[in-house]
Structure 1
Amino acid sequence: MKGARNGPLWRCLRYLRPHGWFMAGAFGAALGSMLAGLAMPVILQRLIDGPLARQDMGALPGLIAGFALLGAVEAVLLGARRLLVVRPATHLETTMRAHLFQHVQRLPASFHSHWSSGQLLSRTVSDVTEIGRFFAFSAVYLLVNVAALVAGLGVLAWLSPVLALVVLVTYLPMVAATVFFEHRFRTVARSAQEQSGDLTTTVEESVAGIRVLKALGRCPETVRRFTAQARALRGTELRKISLTAALWWTATALPELGIVALMGYGGYSTATGHLTLGVLMAAITVATYMRWPADTLGWLVADASTAAAAATRYWQVRDIPLAVSDPATPQPLPRPLRGELRLENVHYRHPQGADAILRGIDLTVPPGTTLALVGATGSGKSTLVSLLTRLDDPTDGRVTLDGTDLRDLTLDTLRSAVTCAFDDPVLFSGTVRHNVALGLPDGTRDDESVHAALRLAHADGFVAALPEGLDTRIGEEGTGLSGGQRQRLALARAVLPGPAVLVLDNALSALDVHTEREVEAALRTVLGQVTTVLVAHRPATLRLADRVALIADGRVAATGTHDELMATHAAYRDLLESPVTAPTETNGTPRHGTARKVQAR
């Protein structure tokens, strides 16, 4: 029993508890309609063996009225069941979706590196729909139909124990077939749902990357891959249908066989005087009534198997522990916030990875200074900056802000103090204003500060030229904007909240030389006011930094100013001059004045 209560569908029952009385009412209404339907054959037996057999017309109106009343009660209760079940079922779907979405939002960035968006989408939408449909319809009728079969056998036993035994013998193989097919069906249903998620991923990736596919001439190949996946899904669905058909055939044929056997034995017994005609007619009516619960048992069990597979997939994601979460006893940030960052013996290993990505990183970034990170692809730069906002947590060591371990801060507190702009700027379907002010709480957004951030990112010119300015709606992922325009909006979004720490992960990589110079000139003012960590390879951008840290194989290989490293470190010089990272422009202006030191500890 304990194992059953830990089953995936059983765990979903918690979402029905707020509306438990509605579910109880729906079950009661369905049960009442079933009992009303089963009582009607009993009245039929009384009618045949009473007034009709004895030609007693006095009892006829009462029996007919009772028959009509039972029919009306059955119809009313069926309608009531549908009305009562809507509220708990829709509450279940809405809440389960919200909880899954919230959980996915709180999972670390490493989770998203090995889970496709299509699989998450299918679990959030189609799987939850399957679960809701099961509890709204199939779960109630599965219980009621089993109860109807048991009650029907009870009525038959009351009419004639032998007739009940005849029907029971034909129903037992149906129970065995249901158990046999259910396990197979659940396996195939799970496979179909996984394939559906993969198909969704292919569609989503193809739509998002349509320009790349067209440019590379890969659309035909993508169509072939999609077609192959669709055909594989079709094959799995056909196996589902074959199993369902076999179960339906069993659930349909055996009850029909039971009715034939009942008519044969009952007809013989009536002819020989062992049964009355009323008992025979009532028994046939009960057996016929039981046929519908028996017929539907096949697809109800199939639906339960599909819902169980969907619930398994749902809890597969919900049960992933939150590696990055708020502490039990959060600490406040010191006021005033200075913005000193320290990385102390930081190590990081991907949960599914064998090798460490970061190995003993020790860096200190004094308040108001800028540290640039430089390294070859795969050296660990982006992983390092992801730790600064707790997109992931270090597997060893710690990162502190003004002496406070980042893991001792709530995520809201940390991310109000540290903001990021990434090399792949993500924009959302909505207005320009909404995208730029995304990092501000509702009610604190004003156009003046938005315009100031746009001016800093040199995005005010093209935004003003848009048809509706700040109110212009941009497409999903910034469709219709150039890469440089998207990157400037993302940069404006990062600087708008006025953070103590600004993280720029190749945030200027998509800008042309002229725009980059203008943005860098504007950034000089900002960089003197906040602590900044930036990932870059262009010398002009690197000269914005007080110090540069060369990251190699997950370690700090060297630190110094850009000019110092160019003069003294061959690996740094080779990296910037290599064809992969060679900048398009090298005439940046060095920063003047005494730079505060970024120490490599």
Structure 2
Amino acid sequence: MNDLESDPKRGGLRHIVRLGPYLRPVRGRVIGSGAAVLVSMMCGLAIPLVIQRILDGPVAEGDAPGLLWPVVAVAVLGATEALLFFTRRKLIAGPSTAVEADLRADLYAHLHRLPIAFHDQWQSGQLLSRAVSDLSTIRRFIAFAGIFLVVNSLTMVIGLGVLFFLDPVIGAITLACSLPLIAISTVFESRYSVLSRRSQDQEGDLATTVEESALGIRVLKAFGRGPELARRFAAEARELRGTELAKVRVLALLWGSIIMLPELGIALQLLVGTFGIANGTMTIGTLVAGVTIATYLRWPVDSIGWLLAETNQTATAAERYWEVRDAEVTITDPAEPQRLPADGAGLLRFEDVRFAYPATGGERGGEVLSGVDLEVRPGETVALVGPTGCGKTTLTALVARLADVTGGRVTVDGVDVRDLRLEELRAAVATAFEDAVLFSASVAENVRLGAPEASMEDVRTALRVAQAEEFVDALPWGLDTRIGEQGLSLSGGQRQRLALARAVVGKPKVLVLDDPLSALDVQTEAEVEHALRSVLSGVTALVVAHRPSTVQLADRVALLDDGRITAVGTHSELLATNTAYRTLLSTLDDAGADSERTRV
């Protein structure tokens, strides 16, 4: 379970109330739907009163012709009740799904605005459950539970008033049996809210396990770990089942109480009414009307338990929604953005750059970068090397503001990247990551992620530069061939080349590559290396290098160690003058040799 999740007892109606702005555009439809169902319930309450008039009037007096209009009135009230129930559904169905769609779109957009640090801390399954199942719960509340919670409560109050009007004793009996429901519902509400939150969090954990198993199916099969993950999944499923059964037990006790008390009330009404009719203090019509109204109130009374449970579930869902929606967007456009100079050629500078991860879980965040100074000249390729964990990937992430410096600044053509609009910055700076992530879309759509406005000719040019055009044309439908999830239907080299094409299609001024030759075999490495030579021609590039072959693509090499740039020079210069560089390079050579022996 995610560490950021809170105590479930913290949930409350305030989380639902905060959804008010999303309901504002459809508020009239919601109110109209509530009014329709309330009037329909009043029609239902009026029918027993008409029946009372029929029994104490035409029936008692033997006036057959006098039955006509009361019977017509009952039919009209019944038809009106049914029509208004249909009207309620008609009014609320569209708006409730529109609110759900708006909430989901807003949450999705917010997830994209949040910094990478947020996503590093949250399980994807937890986010998925909030964006799907929790919002469906909120939609059901808007469409049904919320409306009926108000309407049924009003119906109970009005129904009790009618019963007191008919006969104070019958009204008092019904009230006496209804009051304990408030105390019972309050007790069970607090227990159910805890179980509801636990259940929703466990659903998120289960979704995470399913997603990770599906995405890592090759690893699980290769290492024979499928049965172990299946056991883990089964254990989590059993925990969820146990929580759901606990919820059922709580609801069963609540429903038992809710059903028993009204039944007891009706029995007492019949007893008192029978004595009243026998001694002449009550008419048959009054007793029948009273019992009929009490029976009619069974649905509003019986539903209270379920409606309270739905309200709790919705409050928990809304709390989980706001946990994500309230997460601070720390990387935003500046209030007064600057523009890159029109004649800028892509000069990249790191000036006393510092970066420290924030403290989490009571642990202090450590400083990764401690004053980095580096200049990458226009059109130059600089390879960034250093021992594992020295902050190379962190440094590259600062260029496109995937994270922000905690000290110093990063500039492109003399402008601090924090002073640029994110759209302009990320059009000028393209990034290709160590893992070439592709999406379930066509080849052209995957390449166009780097520049949505790119034409098909631009896409082909980018593929040509990345040495990917030949294998793309050999695919069944060429550029329109849909790539499977994460591009796993392609080879590693093909994925890397498509990622390079995506990075260069927008003709960026600055290109940041995080170990573009990772995990490639000899032949594929040669192909991608050839593509890299074309890609790096004429663009300012910062390349994280874990292989000697990548280092040799660069004009200069920067050695990052202990949070600082300790040496800068050509590959030959550093080999001749820097012991730490020679040691590191020999380690890279050994790792590369071991990797090649493993492939062979």
TM-score by length of 2: 0.94
1:82-161 counterparts in 2 under 5 A?
A: 82-161=89-168
Question: For structure 1, which runs of at least 5 residues remain unmatched after alignment?
Answer: 587-601
Q: Which residue of 1 aligns with 2:490?
A: 481
1:304 to 1:348, Cα distance in 2 relative to 1, 3 A: same
* DSSP-derived class of the 1:420 partner: strand
Q: Which residue of 1 aligns with 2:558?
A: 549
Rounded Cα–Cα distance in structure 1 between residues aligned with 2:510 and 2:386: 21
1:3-402 counterparts in 2 under 5 A?
A: 7-351=14-358, 352=360, 354-402=365-413
Q: Which amino acid aligns with 2:564?
A: R
Is residue 2:418 matched to residue 1:410? no
Q: Is the 8 A contact 2:12 2:312 kept in 1?
A: no
Q: Which amino acid aligns with 1:529?
A: G
Q: Which amino acid aligns with 2:556?
A: R
1:207-230, CA deviations, whole angstroms, 9 ceiling, x for partnerless residues?
101001111111111001000000
Q: Is the 8 A contact 1:19 1:87 kept in 2?
A: no
1:102-141, CA deviations, whole angstroms, 9 ceiling, x for partnerless residues?
0001111111111111111110011000000111111111
1:467-498, CA deviations, whole angstroms, 9 ceiling, x for partnerless residues?
12111111010021111211111011111111
Q: Is the 8 A contact 1:537 1:576 kept in 2?
A: no
* DSSP-derived class of the 1:343 partner: strand
Shift of 1:581: 6.6
* DSSP-derived class of the 1:430 partner: coil
Q: Which amino acid aligns with 1:127?
A: D
Shift of 1:526: 4.2
Shift of 1:518: 4.5
Q: Is the 8 A contact 1:449 1:496 kept in 2?
A: yes
1:585 to 1:157, Cα distance in 2 relative to 1, 3 A: closer
Q: Is the 8 A contact 2:353 2:373 kept in 1?
A: yes
Q: Which amino acid aligns with 2:455?
A: R
Q: Is the 8 A contact 2:173 2:268 kept in 1?
A: yes
Q: Is the 8 A contact 2:173 2:265 kept in 1?
A: yes
Q: Is the 8 A contact 2:185 2:305 kept in 1?
A: yes
Q: Is the 8 A contact 2:174 2:265 kept in 1?
A: yes
Is residue 2:595 matched to residue 1:576? no
Q: Is the 8 A contact 2:13 2:315 kept in 1?
A: no
Q: Is the 8 A contact 1:513 1:585 kept in 2?
A: no
Q: Is the 8 A contact 2:465 2:534 kept in 1?
A: no
Rounded Cα–Cα distance in structure 2 between residues aligned with 1:397 and 1:255: 72
Q: Which residue of 2 aligns with 1:589?
A: none
Q: Is the 8 A contact 2:432 2:499 kept in 1?
A: yes
Q: Which amino acid aligns with 1:53?
A: A
Rounded Cα–Cα distance in structure 1 between residues aligned with 2:462 and 2:556: 26
Rounded Cα–Cα distance in structure 1 between residues aligned with 2:460 and 2:64: 92
Aligned residues: 582
Q: Is the 8 A contact 1:575 1:581 kept in 2?
A: no
Among candidates 427, 440, 459, match of residue 429 of structure 1: 440
Q: Is the 8 A contact 2:450 2:504 kept in 1?
A: no
1:138 to 1:198, Cα distance in 2 relative to 1, 3 A: same
Q: Is the 8 A contact 2:33 2:92 kept in 1?
A: yes
Shift of 1:580: 8.9
Q: Which amino acid aligns with 1:489?
A: L
Rounded Cα–Cα distance in structure 1 between residues aligned with 2:295 and 2:373: 80
Rounded Cα–Cα distance in structure 2 between residues aligned with 1:21 and 1:86: 13
Shift of 1:263: 1.3
Q: Which amino acid aligns with 1:141?
A: F
Q: Which residue of 2 aligns with 1:596?
A: none
1:171 to 1:337, Cα distance in 2 relative to 1, 3 A: same
1:307 to 1:121, Cα distance in 2 relative to 1, 3 A: same
* DSSP-derived class of the 1:158 partner: helix
1:188 to 1:471, Cα distance in 2 relative to 1, 3 A: same
* DSSP-derived class of the 1:557 partner: strand
Question: For structure 2, which runs of at least 5 residues remain unmatched after alignment?
Answer: 1-9, 596-600
Q: Is the 8 A contact 1:32 1:77 kept in 2?
A: yes
* DSSP-derived class of the 2:559 partner: strand
For the aligned residue pairs, the C-alpha RMSD in angstroms reads 1.9
1:265-324, CA deviations, whole angstroms, 9 ceiling, x for partnerless residues?
222222221111111111101100011111111111111111111110001000001011
Q: Which amino acid aligns with 1:213?
A: L
Among candidates 464, 468, 471, match of residue 473 of structure 2: 464
Rounded Cα–Cα distance in structure 2 between residues aligned with 1:580 and 1:293: 77
Rounded Cα–Cα distance in structure 2 between residues aligned with 1:206 and 1:519: 30
Moved more, 131-140 or 574-583: 574-583
1:396 to 1:131, Cα distance in 2 relative to 1, 3 A: same
Is residue 2:548 matched to residue 1:539? yes
Q: Which residue of 2 aligns with 1:590?
A: none
Q: Percent identity?
A: 53
